[in-house]
Amino acid sequence: MSAENIPNPSKFLRITWILEYQELLRMATLTKRFPVVLCGRSTHIGKPVSEALQPEYEVIHFIQSIEAAQTELPHLLAGRDPHSPHVDNVGTHNYGSPASAVIFGRGYNTTEVEQVRRACAGRAPGPVAWVAGDPAKQIGASGPPPGPGYARVVAGEVKGVLGRWKREGSQREGFLWY
């Protein structure tokens, strides 16, 4: 279509620019990072869960014990480097934004999760989703490792509960069960 065939070329260009700008804003909103911390007993499970949570959720740090969670989470919830002595290859280690959610694997029980949540109260600038495995589905620390596909299943369940929390406005801090 040539410019002479358009009744008002400047209006057409403005409308085109507005539509393109709206699409860019929509894409930016969809790709906005959502930083989370993943707590699990093993990197063998933590790494594939971390990868399966992408691209919607960015695991910025992986924690393997309640003691480490109590010392490192206050920093992560405030958007700071935890200076962790625990080095692993799980997560991005991108500490520029506060974690918006803390996800516990099913190897942690409700009492442990609540203990950590209380120790971190008031450390985040906004509401935090505390995501934990449904107590009816807990796995034992001494039991056999979960089977193939476990990471994808767990990541899908976590995405579901976090997605609902975000759609509801993510204004309330609290427990979410997967």
> pTM surpassing 0.85?
no
- The CATH number assigned to the domain with range 33-177 reads 3.40.50
In this predicted structure, the answer to whether residue 62 has a pLDDT above a threshold of 90 is: yes
Q: What is the pLDDT of residues 38-52, one digit of tens each?
A: 999 999 999 999 999
* Angstrom distance (rounded) from CA 132 to CA 123: 19
Domains in the chain: boundaries: 1-32, 33-177
pLDDT of residue 87: 79
Q: What is the pLDDT of residues 10-46, one digit of tens each?
A: 655 555 555 554 444 444 444 578 999 999 999 999 9
